[in-house]
Chains A and B, each alone.
Chain A
Amino acid sequence: AQSVTQLDSQVPVFEEAPVELRCNYSSSVSVYLFWYVQYPNQGLQLLLKYLSGSTLVKGINGFEAEFNKSQTSFHLRKPSVHISDTAEYFCAVSDTGTGANNLFFGTGTRLTVIP
């Protein structure tokens, strides 16, 4: 079974400052990794995903994440945040085997961008 740990439940950051949201996972098998964003009163939207290939993944809205297999991490970064980035961010993992795409989510990190 897989599990995901998001170490920070809340991250406040000033506008135009850089941000890193941390995600660590544990799994006995190979995994796919995802970051989703949830704006207030909206559903989850995929920011980016790692399936294979380059460990640096670029997503929408200027976000990127780096897969580090040795540290079992998939931290999300943005060099300069905007007010509109205020939202809840979820890291998720699924195994690479055949069968259902069962996503295991972390508990989320609430990013608050301060003007």
Chain B
Amino acid sequence: DAMVIQNPRYQVTQFGKPVTLSCSQTLNHNVMYWYQQKSSQAPKLLFHYYDKDFNNEADTPDNFQSRRPNTSFCFLDIRSPGLGDAAMYLCATSRDFRDEQFFGPGTRLTVL
């Protein structure tokens, strides 16, 4: 029944070591989003895809990249994680803009 799946649920990486987080969806939605949620803070949108069209938020650091090879999958790549990148990363999907967003359970990233 899972609709938005995130793997892994917990990820530990070392300072500067590239890491990839995965999101998949069974809803066949057009839009996929990545949010960053730091401890005791609000989720913050990093970027989104509408189909293959990528939109980066203006204040998203260059260290963060994303790939969407097909409708079902979307990846978040952090090229050189810093201690400040430790956070919960949430993936969400929506059928179209203005439709309800469905969230995955999140991946908690720890940077040592």
On A, residues with C-beta under 8 Å from B are: 4, 9, 32, 36, 41-46, 49, 90, 98-108
Chain A residues near B90: list those with CB within 8 A: 43-44
Q: Which residue of B lies closest to A104 (CB)?
A: B42
Chain B residues near A103: list those with CB within 8 A: 43, 45, 101
With A and B bound together, what is the CA distance between A4 and B40 in angstroms? Answer: 14
CB within 8 Å for A106 and B98 given contacts A43-B105, A44-B90, A100-B48: no
Contact A43 B104 (CB under 8 A): yes
On B, residues with C-beta under 8 Å from A are: 4, 6, 9, 31, 40-45, 48, 50, 55, 57, 90, 92, 94, 97-106
B31, B97, B103: which contacts A44 (Cβ < 8 A)? Answer: B103
Q: Which residue of A lies closest to B5 (CB)?
A: A43
Contact A105 B103 (CB under 8 A): no
| Min distance, Cβ A7 to any Cβ of chain B, angstroms | 14
Contact A90 B43 (CB under 8 A): yes
| Min distance, Cβ B57 to any Cβ of chain A, angstroms | 8
B9, B40, B92, B103: which contacts A107 (Cβ < 8 A)? Answer: B40
A45, A49, A98, A100: which contacts B103 (Cβ < 8 A)? Answer: A45
Chain B residues near A98: list those with CB within 8 A: 97
Q: Which residue of B lies closest to A43 (CB)?
A: B103
